[in-house]
Amino acid sequence: VEAPALGRAMEPQVIGKADEELEELRNLATPELPWPHELPAAELPGALVRAVFGSLAAEAEAELQRVSKLPPQALASDTVAKQNRREAYLNPQRRRHWESRARLFLERRPDVVRALSTEALYSALMMQHLLELDAADPDLPAAERCSEDAFEDGINSQFLLDATRGRFVVEGEVFHFAEAEADESEEALLERTVGAVRQVVLQHGGSRLLEWVTTAMSQSGIAAVERAGLCRAAVSGGCAQVDYRLDEDPERKDGLLVRLQTRRQGFREYLLDAPGASEEDAAPLSCASSSSLQKTATVSYGPGGEVDVLDFREDVHIRRGGETLEPELLCAAIPWVPAESSAVGPEVSAPGRWLLADCVRRLCSRCRPRRGLRQEAQETAAGGGAYRS
């Protein structure tokens, strides 16, 4: 057997080594982003994971209590998928599995951890989990799935319903019924949109990647954006626009980027989901028609099944009486859960101390005098927390 030429055998190693050295030089030349979080790096991942899954477990427990009070004829609405989703958080073993997945995301994406605010990182971690939960579903037996999604030749059926409703941009090409040729039917637009998405995705992976991407580029993905956000304001009226974008990932070989955006504007009323308030207590609040709510998320998909939420932003601009209300009046605080401590005595864990300091800071901010409509909005939204994307 002829031995490979020494020069050819060494060349990849030399090039690889040069690339490594170049990357090291780049890291030295590029200063690291400052740490944007109040919790130290050693404690932040655990605190965020506890907050996300503590919130999901509390929602699951509340849903279980509601189901237990349903009359027998209404129990059919509690589907197997809903039961399995609750079990993901109420079953300790399943919860630990998903918590470990969340920690792995934070470990492999230190760039995301440093780039986002604490509130945005909480939302990104929440959305990360929801998308991973969806991605795992097609591989499970029907009796174990957490959703009722169906697929046609790798395309999520919900995507087929949404493809003519939203605005899709695939590698720069726009697919939107309002912008289509006058003589193009919805069926023709749907066929073009599906074809473009299928072509781009299958160049980077197989049918499973196509299932993940089309699930995200549908109301399933938008629902994850809405659930992951901290904004407590719900609006009615005005106009709504949903945008989906699919591109090749310039920073990951065979990777894809999905960008989801929902925008509401032109509304004149909004509701605040105040903690502990009943539906009877909720009353619409008036606002200027120039108000807007926008939520945006960017997700990276890898051919090996990696799902990374790279960015999450909520832009909340609600105006009353010529003033833009402050974000802390419209957004909830992160639901921190203090770590269990084995220490004896009154010493509080670091996340617990941070939680206490955060509560004191928010209380003090509400004691500062405000004028006019800010005071009225503050009283209405008592219990909210700041959100900075």
Residue 168, strand partner residues: 175, 244
Q: Give me the pLDDT at residue 172, please.
A: 97
Collect the ranges in the chain with pLDDT lower than 70. Answer: 1-32, 274-281, 341-389
Q: Give me the pLDDT at residue 183, please.
A: 85
Burial class (CB within 10 angstroms; exposed 0-12, middle 13-18, buried 19+) of 184: exposed
Q: Give me the pLDDT at residue 280, please.
A: 55
Q: Give me the pLDDT at residue 362, please.
A: 47
- Domain edges within the chain: 42-148, 152-333
Q: Give me the pLDDT at residue 238, please.
A: 94
Count of Cβ atoms closer than 10 Å to residue 163 Cβ = 24
pLDDT in tens, 70-105: 999 999 999 999 999 999 999 999 999 999 999 999
What pTM was computed for the model? 0.79
